[in-house]
Structure 1
Amino acid sequence: MTIFYAQETGLTAEEYIECVSQSELGSIRPIGNPERVQAYLENSNLVITARNKNGTLVGLFRGMTDWHWVCYCADLAVAETHQGQGIGKALMDKATEILGSGVTVTLLSVPGAEAFYKHIGLSQTSAAFYRDRTNRS
């Protein structure tokens, strides 16, 4: 199966929701709120897509970067029907190529996906911290 990878601007909430809802990320992203999805797409400065020969979105990498030190990968998603074909690794490889050798890619794993991230060459750390957006005092 031929997959085309490209850096894109203008990815729509509808396409994003269609793809992500067919992946593990669908249960932990606000796919029922297209306005919020569109807003975070518009504020992401690195979006890489994987499309089949018909142009259908089958995977994506969404990140925020300063282009010189770090890129935070907010989403790495592949539709379940296309998983196991190397698309996730190819998306990460394309991001690394675009960012260059001086930029580190970081992400928070979906619980249970740690083995996948190790498989595509990421290193695991126990030193990650976050402030949950739902539990603020």
Structure 2
Amino acid sequence: MSIICAQETGLTAEEYIACVGQSKLGPARPLGNTERVQAMLDNSNLVITARDETGRLIGLSRSITDWNWNCYCADMAVVEASQGQSIGKTLMDKAAEILGPGVSIIVLALPGAEGFYSKLGLTHTDAGFYRDRTHRT
């Protein structure tokens, strides 16, 4: 199967929901709120997609970056039926290529996903902190 990975603008909430909903990330995102998902996409300045030869979205990364120092990868998802084909690694490598060597990529992994990011070569740290949202849907 041929996979095309590229930076994309204009990804729709419907495509995002269809892809993320078929991944382990789905339960952690507000997939029942199309308006909120669209706002998440509209306010992200680096979206990279992985599409199969038919054009179907099978993976994505959604990030927020200053293009000079840091990039926060807010979402990394690959549909479960397409996992195990290095699509996540390809998405991360494409982000690093676009961002260049002067920009760090930061990920807050879901519990259980730490091993995946370690395999991609990301450094694990216990110094991460976050303030959780009070509105989930």
Any idea what the Cα deviations from partners look like across 1:28-77, whole Å, max 9, x if unmatched?
A: 00000000000010000000000000000000010000000000000000
In the alignment, residue 27 of structure 1 is paired with which amino acid?
Answer: P
Residue number in structure 2 paired with 1:124: 124
Residue number in structure 1 paired with 2:62: 62
Q: Which runs of 5+ in 1 are unaligned?
A: none
Residue number in structure 1 paired with 2:88: 88
Query: How far, CA to CA, are the matches of 1:16 and 1:133 in structure 2?
Result: 21
In the alignment, residue 12 of structure 1 is paired with which amino acid?
Answer: T
Structure with more contact order per residue of length (Cα contacts < 8 Å, sep ≥ 6): 2
Would you say 1:53 and 2:53 are equivalent positions?
yes
How many residue pairs are counted as aligned between the two chains? 135
Residue number in structure 2 paired with 1:98: 98
Any idea what the Cα deviations from partners look like across 1:1-44, whole Å, max 9, x if unmatched?
A: 10001100000000000000000110000000000000010000
In the alignment, residue 120 of structure 1 is paired with which amino acid?
Answer: L
Query: How far, CA to CA, are the matches of 2:134 and 2:83 in structure 1?
Result: 31
In the alignment, residue 21 of structure 1 is paired with which amino acid?
Answer: G
Q: TM-score, normalised by structure 1?
A: 0.97
Query: How far, CA to CA, are the matches of 1:65 and 1:29 in structure 2?
Result: 20
Query: For the aligned residues, what is the CA RMSD?
Result: 0.8
Identity rate of aligned residues, in percent? Answer: 67
Structure 1 runs of 4+ with >3 Å offset: none
Deviation for aligned residue 1:134: 1.7
Q: Which runs of 5+ in 2 are unaligned?
A: none
Query: How far, CA to CA, are the matches of 1:126 and 1:9 in structure 2?
Result: 33
